[in-house]
DNA sequence: TGTAATGTTTACCAGTCGGTCAAATTATCC
DNA sequence: GGATAATTTGACCGACTGGTAAACATTACA
């Protein structure tokens, strides 16, 4: 008599590790394009190269798959913001944060779109994460930015909207990739485009936030 | 014998005008939240307060509804960029563009999300619009911005990425509204939040783009 | 007011959806 | 190698999907 579900076993077998990996990889492919409602288990099963009941052997429901995916991706996704260092130099910290976020948009566009789809559709599955861990992390980093502004190291500005603007400008290149490509044309794609975006954004934020020498902060 | 479909008639009746309006309004509600694949005709019919076959009397297919909606919304959506004036003063033009885009994000969030959903999912229904009218308009305005930079009126920067960054930062407040609200907390919503965002973005872009007096452009 | 055109609804269809079941197959371990 | 647990599959289910047919109701207009 088989144990009802893989999840019930104490130790995960090699096969379980492999298949769950395989499934989540396929699920990321599908969910990131079509969102939760727009995706079907059949699609994911086909991408994963296994039958639907087999897939449902590892994840009981579509929701369970989606949740496992979100949980796995969320931690990594917040890494750049977590790396934001209060002791560091404001200009290089902001520059570094932009670059790391931009690299993630380039290297993990599916992860970005997964969240974008979810938030766009009202975040029905990740509301708790947004109001909990995410908000706490942002609050913490916002305090850092505010202290920099108070100390005259950067111009006075709303730290929350600063963070929003860095999120939106960088993730734009993952989430709206089709549009960006349509507007820029075939000409330059890939690395060239990435460097242009990085140069522009660093210029925008560094110049836009530095204290102007002809209008001293003090 | 009834004429097959309303679309076939030469003159639109009063009822047609009203019902089509009613349907597109409901369709905007639904499509903007769930995207094309994730939305169902039944949902739209319920929101519109009419039976599914009645709805299908005015729009033959789900696709037709979606297309009609996109066509109607696209023109309005590009209005702020079209208003961008080559003869105007660079600073006030950019400031005005940001404010208009932000107003649209506030007043027409559903329209913003409709496009966001569509582009995010690979723009399967609006690829032509992106590569055609949109690209042309952006090319035109990019040329204006480039001429300003050449004339030393603003700092030298990539005009395309400038436009992308204004799009992303402003539309963020419509598309990622749930996240913005979760992070900012209940405290200030509505008008206060809007003014904070406007102040921050105008500061960011105006200071970030102005030619620094201690590093003259010439 | 009559009648033809327009508008609305009920009942229905075939295909797809998320998910179950039991039987068959494969891996594991003594 | 055999018993036992883990894995995989085909057949299937009821609910929902986009869309149709045809009868019925309403409107516009001569």
pLDDT in tens, A112-170: 999 999 999 999 999 999 999 999 999 999 999 999 999 988 899 999 999 999 999 99
Continuous H helices in A39-186: 41-48, 52-58, 62-83, 90-107, 109-120, 127-129, 135-150, 159-175, 177-184
Does this chain's domain B12-60 share its CATH topology with B73-209? Answer: no
- Identify all chain B residues contacting A169, using CB atoms and an 8 Å cutoff: 164-165, 168-169
According to the model, what pLDDT value does residue A136 have? 95
B215 versus B170: the higher-pLDDT residue is B170
Cα dist. A82→A93, A94, A97, A129 in Å? Answer: 12, 12, 10, 15
Confidence of residue B196 (pLDDT cuts 50, 70, 90): very high
Domain coordinates in residue numbering, chain B: 12-60, 73-209
Tokens of A28: 């990321």
Tell which residue, B13, B9, B22, B8, has the closest CA to residue B54: B22
CA closest to C19 C1', residue:
A61
The answer to whether B194 contacts chain A (CB < 8 Å) is no
A60 touches strand C (CB under 7 A): yes
Provide mean pLDDT across the span B185-195: 81
Q: Is the CB of A51 under 7 A from strand D?
A: yes
Residues B186-199, mean pLDDT to the nearest whole number? 84
Size of interface A-B (CB pairs under 8 A): 190
The CATH code that applies to domain B12-60 is: 1.10.10.60
Identify the sign of the CA torsion A190, A75, A111, A46: positive
Find the nucleotide nearest B64 (Cα to C1′).
Answer: D18
pLDDT score for B214: 47
pLDDT score of A217: 36
pLDDT at B107 over 80: yes
- How does B4-16 read in b/e, with b if 16+ C-beta sit within 10 Å? eebeeeeeeeeee
pLDDT confidence of residue B191: 77
- The correct answer on CATH 1.10.357.10 for the domain covering A71-209 is yes
CATH 1.10.10.60 correct for A13-60: yes
DSSP string, B31-47: HHHHHHHH--HHHHHHH
Cβ distance A37 to B36 less than 8 Å, yes or no, reads no
| pLDDT at position B56 | 97
Predicted local confidence at residue A37, as pLDDT: 95
Q: Once rounded to an integer, what is the mean pLDDT over residues B21-47?
A: 97
Spell out, as residue ranges, where chain A has pLDDT lower than 70: 1-13, 187-188, 208-218
What CATH topology corresponds to B73-209? Tetracycline Repressor; domain 2 (1.10.357)
Distance (Å, whole) CA B6 – CA B49: 19
User: What pLDDT score does A21 carry?
Assistant: 95
**How far is the alpha carbon of A168 from chain B, nearest alpha carbon, in Å?**
5
CA distance linking residue B136 with residue B139, whole number of Å? 5
Residues 6+ apart with CB under 8 A from A132: none
Contact A34 B34 (CB under 8 A): no
The chain-wide mean pLDDT, for chain B, equals 89
Q: Do B135 and A164 touch (CB under 8 A)?
A: no
State the sign of the Cα–Cα–Cα–Cα dihedral B178, B184, B186, B189: negative
Residue whose tokens read 């913490």: A140
Contact indicator for B217, B155 with CB cutoff of 8 Å: yes
Alpha carbon distance A107, A150 (integer Å): 35
Mean pLDDT over B187-204 rounds to 88
- Given this model, what pLDDT does residue B216 score? 37
């Amino acid at each position: 008599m088989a144990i009802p579900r893989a999840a019930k076993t104490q130790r995960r077998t090699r096969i379980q590790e492999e298949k769950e990996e395989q499934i989540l990889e396929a699920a990321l492919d599908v969910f990131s394009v079509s969102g939760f409602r727009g995706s079907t288990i059949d699609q994911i099963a086909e991408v994963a190269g296994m039958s639907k009941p087999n897939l449902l052997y590892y994840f009981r429901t579509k929701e369970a798959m989606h949740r496992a995916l979100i949980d796995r991706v969320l931690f990594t996704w917040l890494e750049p913001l977590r790396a934001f260092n209060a002791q560091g130099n404001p200009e290089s910290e902001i520059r570094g944060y932009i670059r790391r976020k931009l690299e993630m948009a380039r290297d993990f566009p599916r992860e970005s779109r997964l969240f974008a789809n979810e938030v766009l559709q009202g975040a029905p599955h990740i509301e708790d994460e947004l109001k909990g861990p995410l908000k706490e992390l942002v609050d913490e980093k916002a305090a850092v930015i505010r202290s920099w502004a108070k100390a005259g190291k950067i111009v006075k500005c709303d730290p929350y909207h600063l963070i929003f603007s860095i999120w939106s400008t960088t993730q734009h290149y993952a989430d709206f990739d089709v549009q960006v490509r349509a507007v820029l044309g075939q000409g330059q794609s890939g690395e060239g485009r990435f460097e242009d975006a990085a140069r522009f954004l660093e210029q925008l934020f560094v110049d836009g936030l530095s204290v102007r020498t002809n209008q001293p902060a003090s």
